């Protein structure tokens, strides 16, 4: 337990990392003395040095999957300006500029058409643009963040294209006093573009000017940048093209929500910068990210494992979701950087302890041994309440942390424990920066590119094909005569709808789209159909039969 290779402690911040529960490691020294491990460490350090120097490292030999660009999130909190215009100092200047704009909104210097203050702001983004800001706000303000006394403007998020969520947002709040911040590097992200278009339509329907209710966070020269500036939106904040979505929290994507929530983004940056300094160390036992990566890699080499993240504080409610994207989008790859088929990945799930113990821990403790557990907790409490069984609520929470660790140890399961002083912005910056560095190191160990996401693009492209099919069916129904009890295949044939690009997938996709028309054809704005389509289940042929009343 007290071996150097099993523990890491930072005296300056009271951060502690313990691997005493890594049961797969029989001899910690062997992990570090292994020739392949040493080579991997050297390769990882070299990769990160190249990254911070501004070299193009987002590259894979598979041309269709390679973005071929720099990766700059480490530079955004680097004390030294290795890449022009990117450093901790530049990010702190950006933060001051962001605060100045948001203060003008809060103080009523920037208003709506009627000269009234804005009461609500909606952050419209998906992926890292959504997960990062939400995670950070909840970490500092809790679930009920809009009830905090310093929240002068209420904060809302839209990410998914869920019409019912959007309806609740616009029906429960006053649109004339609402701003939307559109967060997208390009402005072409389907979900974000759809929510932006719908918001603009709703604002226009009230006789208001959308440009007076819109702000943007995007890269210079993008479609969104052009629209926001030509239409004279309230304000446009720029970010760098080299900042990936899942690490965009260090840019205006994180700064603008923090300004509205009165969270000290400067401390968040400084915490990350401090962790970065520790995770650049060449001596592995003195480098917390290298320690973590070596142990995880050693464990995965023995057998495939999932990673469960348990944060023993409600302020970490969204943290495991944030890590899910960071790890799985970065490490889930089909090819290595040379283009050879080499599938890799690390499945991440979790939530808040002790709640997740009641949903997952039975299997982890007693079922298949396919998961290692990451514990995160804080030493200092701002409040506590008496508890007869444990002495206090806080002590009971600590007992659950240590009791679960003990049970895992007794059941031969592996775990890692991270302890921070308190969940302030500085420590949250340290926490996120550590995970980013672990991702970079594991990617170097595995010879994969952690900074592209071709699988996400696959889904986006496929959705376009489904949209085209849906519109083709809708347009064909407008002109179609009535028909009764036709199978999916016969319905498509009657309508004259074809989609050769979908091949064998056409029938089951069309079945879902026709079923949606049956369920939602009469919902306002859903379809341009004045007649009704219905379906019946045919047990003999094991399929739905569709009936169309005709327009």
Q: Would you please indicate which residues are annotated as catalytic (active-site) residues?
A: 329, 358, 460
User: What's 231's DSSP letter?
Assistant: T
Helical segments of 87-245, H only: 88-106, 128-141, 163-172, 190-205, 223-230
| DSSP letter string, 50-74 | HHHTT---B--SSGGG---B---TT
Read off φ and ψ for residue 263, nearest 5 degrees. Answer: -105, 135
Paired strand residues for 495: none
Report the half-sphere exposure of 314 (CA within 13 A, side-chain side): 7
Report d(CA 132, CA 121) in Å as an integer: 17
Are the C-beta atoms of 261 and 132 separated by less than 8 Å? no
CB-based contacts of 496, cutoff 8 Å, min separation 6: 476
Residues 492, 510 contacting (CB under 8 angstroms) = yes
Mode of pairing for the β-strands spanning 120-124 and 178-183: parallel
Among 225, 523, 271, 546, smallest CA distance to 420 is for: 271
First-last CA distance in the chain:
76
The string over 420-450, giving b where at least 16 C-beta atoms fall within 10 Å of a residue's C-beta and e elsewhere, is beebbbbbbbbbbbbbbbbbbbbbbbbbbbb
Pairing of strands 154-158, 15-18: unpaired
Considering only CA atoms, give the Rg of the chain.
Answer: 26
| C-beta separation of 435 from 293 below 8 A | no
Residue by residue, DSSP assigns 517-536 as HHHHTTSTTT-S-SS-EEEE
Residue for token digits 């959308």?
A: 210
Q: Which helix (H) or strand (E) holds 322?
A: helix 319-331
Read out DSSP for 1-64? --SGGGEEEETTTTEEEE-TT-TT-S-HHHHHH-HHHHHHHHHHHHHHHHHHTT---B--SSGG
Containing 466, the helix (H) or strand (E) segment is helix 454-479
């Amino acid at each position: 337990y007290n071996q150097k290779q099993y523990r890491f402690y930072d005296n300056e911040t009271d951060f502690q990392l313990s691997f005493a529960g890594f049961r797969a490691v029989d001899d910690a020294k062997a992990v570090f003395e292994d020739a392949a491990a040493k080579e991997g460490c050297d390769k990882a350090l070299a990769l990160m040095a190249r990254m911070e120097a501004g070299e193009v490292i987002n590259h894979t030999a598979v041309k269709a999957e390679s973005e071929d660009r720099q990766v700059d999130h480490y530079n955004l909190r680097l004390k030294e300006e290795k890449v022009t215009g990117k450093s901790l100092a530049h990010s702190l200047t950006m933060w001051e500029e962001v605060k100045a704009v948001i203060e003008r909104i809060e103080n009523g210097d920037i208003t709506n058409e009627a000269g009234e203050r804005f009461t609500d702001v909606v952050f419209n983004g998906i992926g890292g643009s959504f997960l990062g800001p939400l995670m950070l706000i909840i970490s500092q303000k809790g679930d009920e963040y809009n009830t905090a006394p310093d929240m002068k403007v209420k904060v809302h998020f839209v990410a998914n294209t869920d019409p019912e969520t959007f309806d609740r947002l616009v029906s429960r709040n006053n649109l004339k006093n609402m701003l939307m911040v559109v967060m997208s590097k390009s402005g072409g992200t389907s979900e974000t573009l759809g929510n932006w278009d719908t918001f603009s339509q709703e604002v226009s329907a009230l006789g208001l000017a959308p440009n007076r209710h819109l702000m943007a966070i995007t890269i210079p020269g993008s479609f969104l940048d052009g629209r926001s500036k030509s239409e004279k939106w309230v304000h446009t904040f720029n970010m760098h093209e080299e900042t990936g979505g899942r690490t965009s929290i260090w840019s205006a994507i994180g700064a603008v929500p923090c300004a509205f929530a009165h969270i000290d983004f400067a401390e968040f940056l400084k915490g990350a910068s401090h962790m970065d300094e520790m995770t650049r160390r060449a001596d592995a036992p003195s480098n917390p990210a290298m320690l973590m990566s070596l142990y995880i890699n050693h464990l995965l080499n023995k057998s495939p494992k999932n990673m469960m993240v348990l944060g023993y504080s409600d302020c970490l409610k969204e943290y495991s979701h944030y890590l899910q994207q960071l790890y799985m989008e970065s490490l889930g790859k089909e090819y290595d950087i040379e283009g050879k088929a080499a599938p890799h990945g690390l499945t991440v799930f979790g939530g808040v302890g002790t709640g997740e113990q009641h949903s997952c821990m039975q299997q982890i403790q007693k079922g298949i041994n396919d998961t290692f557990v990451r514990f995160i907790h804080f030493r200092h409490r701002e409040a506590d309440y008496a508890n007869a069984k444990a002495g206090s609520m806080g002590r009971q929470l600590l007992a659950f942390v240590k009791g679960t660790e003990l049970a895992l140890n007794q059941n031969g399961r592996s775990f890692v424990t991270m302890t921070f002083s308190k969940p302030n912005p500085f420590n949250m910056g340290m926490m996120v920066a550590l995970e980013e560095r672990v991702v970079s190191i594991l990617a170097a160990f595995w010879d994969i590119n952690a900074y592209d996401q071709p699988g996400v693009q696959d889904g986006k492209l496929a959705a376009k094909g489904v949209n085209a099919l849906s519109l083709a069916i809708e347009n064909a129904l407008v002109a179609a005569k009535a028909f009764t009890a036709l199978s999916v295949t016969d319905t498509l044939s009657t309508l004259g709808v074809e989609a050769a690009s979908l091949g064998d997938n056409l029938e089951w996709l069309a079945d879902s789209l026709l079923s949606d028309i049956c369920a939602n054809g009469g919902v306002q704005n859903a379809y341009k159909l004045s007649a009704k389509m219905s379906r019946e289940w045919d047990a003999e042929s094991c399929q739905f039969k569709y009936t169309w009343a005709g327009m």
